[in-house]
Amino acid sequence: MFHKLLVANRSEIAVRVMKTARRMGIRTVAIHSDADRNALHVRAADEAVLIGPAPVSESYLKGEAIVEAARRTGAEAIHPGYGFLSENPGFVEAVEAAGLVFVGPPASAIRAMGLKDAAKRLMEAAGVPVVPGYHGVDQQTETLRREAAAIGYPVLIKARAGGGGKGMRLVERPADFAAALEGARREGQASFGDPAVLIERYVTAPRHVEIQVFADGHGHVVHLFERDCSLQRRHQKVIEEAPAPGMTEEVREAMGRAAVEAARAISYRGAGTVEFIADGSQGLRPDRFWFMEMNTRLQVEHPVSEAITGLDFVELQLRVAAGEELPFRQEDLRIRGHAVEARLYAEDVTRGFLPATGRLDHLRFPPAAAFEPSPLRIDSGVEEGDEITPWYDPMIAKVIVHGSDRPAALRALAEALNGIEVAGTVTNIAFLARLAREANFVAGDVDTGLIGRAGEALLRAGEPSADAPIVAGLALAGLLDPPEGNDPWSRLRGFRSWGRPDFALRLVRDGEEIELSLALIEGGVRLSDGATVRLHRDGARVVVEREGHRRSLGLVVKGSRATVFEAGGAATYSLPDPLDRTRGNAAGGNAILAPMPGLVTKLWVCAGERVSTGDPVAVIEAMKMEHTLNSPRDGVIGEILVAEGAQVSDGDSLAVLEPAADG
């Protein structure tokens, strides 16, 4: 076994690999960019090497620098994690040429599955069912348009080197094909350095079911059952589970056999995932699933498969890479219970899941012991005080629960999500909590369109309770702290009084002002409607009593911001800034603003050009995903304030929209 391992990745997956390595007595080396100098994965390693500036192309994608770091520190093997260089055959060859061990499949296997079009041709030859579509080498626009028409709309355009929803576009009408193709090509080039695409028939009730496979260097290949990853938004997974709801032994055996044959066809070694698309309109059937792609690496969602098999996949990867045989055969494997994983991100659900940034002023997860006998596992690459930057994926944590059956696991997941507290950035916690209780999902009636169909019921941000602004306002004014001396009125610092015990509480939440009229009473406040609210500060909690009902709210105050936590949600309030002239004018302003930090990759308009509501104005790339900004109303572009290639911050002005002369 290896004595020292370099982990060629960052954040959550790097920390997760290091935990297993430490348990096995293997020392670890972290790599990091300038932006990650103080990151958790750096602190978790025995050694760390600076690899370059923040952009991934200058740090985490610099294969030669990573190999040199391994040689310099005496590491014998390199674990790539997922993403970055994990599926780059050139990197594998460079690692092996340096006399090091790559913890993963051979370069030939990665190369065989690296391009979706070639992989599908290979799978067809191996007898694995493949989604009908165009996987050819001719990439002329007219050829692709003609093939899409022959397949029949709706179709999916997919970057052939893609993954994670990048470079993927659903096209429902021929008129939309050209714009979708251009976007897919551009995103494929930005994310993978390859603009080529393939086209597939869009399955109208698709289930995304994948099979975990493992192979050693001694000819043994097994599958470790399936995962259902159908709960997706914008082609990216949100909640995954194992086993798949509605799975029968007949279909499991057929899918498992196809996945094993796929691995054998490319002489695979290590951990891999064979992804299938299944027609869920009539339940899972052995003749209604098709090969999509093979991920030649560890998957983000691997913990749910670990939970139901009782295995540590990273340990298996390391042992196989060291030349050992798999310690089991197919007949030895059994499914134990049910596991579910939710991906907790810094993102704004109400703004189309735009990635968010910010410092994690407060980060709390419920204790795992509170969830027995349904174990809770948190895989995270950040801690309180860390920064979510625009440079990398905004994942905060993976929340994994394992129950005796699916209902028990879903109940535990909902409870765990309700107990998570994050302040300093917006997150998708409340969305995940609603999704975990969504009726169709709970019933097992899932497909990749469920989130889109549920619409506002899932996406709408729940309003905080009437108690939340009271708690936040009193906290920001210091009125929840002990009084100064013996004078209770000294607690009124920061508020204006009109000679009565009433005062006005002014706060800002999500850009809008809130005003409350309150009067201090012993132990609490009286509202303008005569109702009384009594409050008691208990560390990071505030006990609120109203009309005989007591409840506990979480509270975090950081500078001029107060965040109040209620079950499954959080609301952040601040005191109004009297110097902020833009407050309240955003909706009717003339500036088209960047909704997130990112790179301006395309401008669709020029100064003086007339636009209509919904017309594309600019494209911003953030976390390797493209986001199109559209005109909010009819008008004329008065001025363009940025150039293509510019890096912008959240709220920066991109263009000025003026009324049309005849409008």
- Catalytic residue, candidates 10, 233, 269, 297: 297
Residue among 381, 397, 344 nearest 9 (CA): 381
Residue type, 438: E
Residue among 117, 101, 217, 119 nearest 167 (CA): 117
- Phi then psi for residue 213, to 5 deg, are -120, 155
Evaluate whether 302 touches 229 at the Cβ level (below 8 Å).
no
Cβ neighbour number for residue 656 with a 10 Å cutoff: 17
For residue 154, say if its preceding peptide bond is cis, omega within 30 degrees of 0: yes
**Token code pair at residue 593:** 């603003």
The DSSP bridge partners found for residue 536 are: 543
139, 145, 151, 153 alpha-carbon torsion, rounded to 10°: 130
**CB neighbour class for 355 (10 Å; exposed up to 12, middle 13-18, buried from 19):** buried
Strands (E), 172-288: 197-201, 206-215, 221-233, 236-242, 270-279
Local structure of 256: helix, strand or coil: helix
* Residues sharing a CB contact under 8 Å with residue 455, sequence separation 6 or more, in sequence order: none
* Residues sharing a CB contact under 8 Å with residue 67, sequence separation 6 or more, in sequence order: 78, 94, 95, 98, 100
Evaluate whether 273 touches 210 at the Cβ level (below 8 Å).
yes
Q: Which residues of 370-409 are buried (b: 16+ CB within 10 A; e: fewer)?
A: ebeebbbbbbbbbeeebbbbbbbbbbbbbbbbbbeebebb
Report CA-CA distances (Å) from 35 to 38, 356, 394. Answer: 8, 16, 14
Largest CA distance in the chain: 87
Residue among 451, 455, 473 nearest 464 (CA): 473
Evaluate whether 224 touches 309 at the Cβ level (below 8 Å).
yes
Element (H, E) at 146: helix 141-151
- Matching residue, tokens 């923040």: 54
406 in active site: no
Which string of DSSP letters, residue by residue, matches 404-473? SSHHHHHHHHHHHHHT-EEESS--SHHHHHHHHT-HHHHTT---TTHHHHHTHHHHSPPPPPTHHHHHHH
CA pair distance 432, 454, nearest whole angstrom: 13
Catalytic residues: 297
